[in-house]
Structure 1
């Protein structure tokens, strides 16, 4: 405890300031000076103090009231409930000098501090021995509105800066980077969880951040094909902010749309890149996507089969005859035994990492000239027409599989 001095007079004055957005480095209100009678106190930019993690107050004499070279003063600052914020003392900087009070400060120091009512401070001045000036007690009032407001929403603490554009469905594990702003003036955040969820709320990817500094930050979230299996679009990007236990705050969460292309949308986009398929009897022509077919030709629409259609196709292919679908496939056998216009492959309505494991055995036919672009282990996407089912002889007997006629196709790599 510091030595108490005798109060010979009391001077009361106020310090008024303007609130600050916690993200700004320069505050909307500046440091300034409060005066009253023959005393003045310089006060800091309170928002900047939270950034600098230090604040200081400077006592000066004015109107003929000087601080002597040996003068000493104590400064105590409390909130409205009497909780101590600053307790410091100092000596004069010299003849007609100043006395500075300072302390280190952290945003977390304000947990439990009443920011709805004014702070109260007291400066006790002890004059040097032999001084003709009188000792003094100076009382000050600092409005709590001078300090940054605590955010009240998840986006108030963490705001996503990146505007997500259409993201292709990943074939392997792929990182998606994003930027975000941190606005935590009182160091209340414990962890931030970023997650991607599907329409049913299933979590498909996460990234966690600890010990975040205020300002612009970046992170990445990894999307993997296996974790997206069985999920349903549309997807959302969810930000969940958890707080230090001493704050007593419950976690806050907000979500925004995450434009991850579904496997179906990806297949349609790839099929469209091949152009429009126009048919006239047994002849066909291809025109640019969105263009009108030539006179006498009819545009054929191809769809990605849904689960019911695909299950029907695999079990009762004849019932799907003449249906026009978009499929992915891997060439399994294309040799002298199959001939130049027919091959065996594994098909799927979506792109697969393993067609052998996840695809269905099928027979494909097409123009021998165009099929020269395919070989065994070629992966491709195709617009096909179901021609029914085919039964062929195997080592173990006979097997029946769906049959497709390829109308258009595009190589997409190997399998």
Structure 2
């Protein structure tokens, strides 16, 4: 999941590292040393490994040598310092056969060396994402300034927009990252990677964590009152709304509740047949009328049935409609007025990115939705809708559709989402696209 977003984040880290080290070279303020070079995602692995111990992340203000003594160990004495400096400079010194190269060619070769070390050390990258060699330190402590991040974060913002992240979300991420990075003091190249990782993770964390009660909690509250939880589903055709209702019926049936489904999409006979098929497959009661009947009446009957039979959950299917169709939106408002749902949930297709976000805004304006379910989240490489939709409408994502089967649905968890965005999972090494 979210492979595209992850690449954008890791590229941002690599670009900043390159920027600062190249400037350090020009200032004669950087040297290469032995040690472990950490990838962008290796900090996520450290979080998982040290979950029950003192975490690496809260100690971000420390210099890297406090966290990795072996990697940070420096030799003392003027002779050793001179040896290090000469070793670093020799890496960029031209060989005798290149003496006739122009200064422009020499500069080009020097700049490429920084990224070539990734290729040279590729075989030395361990399973935990660490590589030996290619670690740089600054002779004099360096401070990240606005000039170092402005162009890099502008590129990130453009890439986020191209990845279907909403403009206000992309801007918020960039501003938050800038605020967190500028002023940070760095001693080693690994510090740059860690600070960028932390800044991006903090920015995204604030965006994806929209507070709200879970549906399960609400069912329990209503059950204590002797009432069913009534949930109305809205959205356009083709997003997987009816299938999602079947998944939720199955999900709560397995939790020990008794759902009932209302077939309130009476505009198409095929829609009634489809939701009936799902109800039969998972083994729950469906309330339906003939095609063309009043959708609000179907919803009302389902609620009354649940009350009479002491069922805990009513799931109301509605006709898929475009948010611009005024007549159909008015009909949806009537269903809401009659059935008095406790929750109105917008079902959107994660793969449609900005379209899903815009649709949710229109539905929210028209009917005041309470939450979102995103379908096809497992196939979403861009992550634009998952990152944007809750923040834009200020309503929580409640569930994610994660596959085709009835069991392929999960309650949304911001911590889990953050982990998906900031861990490599099955991806393995960072993409070669980070190289210039």
Q: Give the TM interval when normalised to the shorter protein.
A: under 0.3
Higher helix residue share = 2
Q: Which has the larger radius of gyration?
A: 1
Question: Which protein is richer in strand relative to its size?
Answer: 1
TM-score normalized with structure 1 length? 0.24
Query: Normalising by structure 2, what TM-score?
Result: 0.24
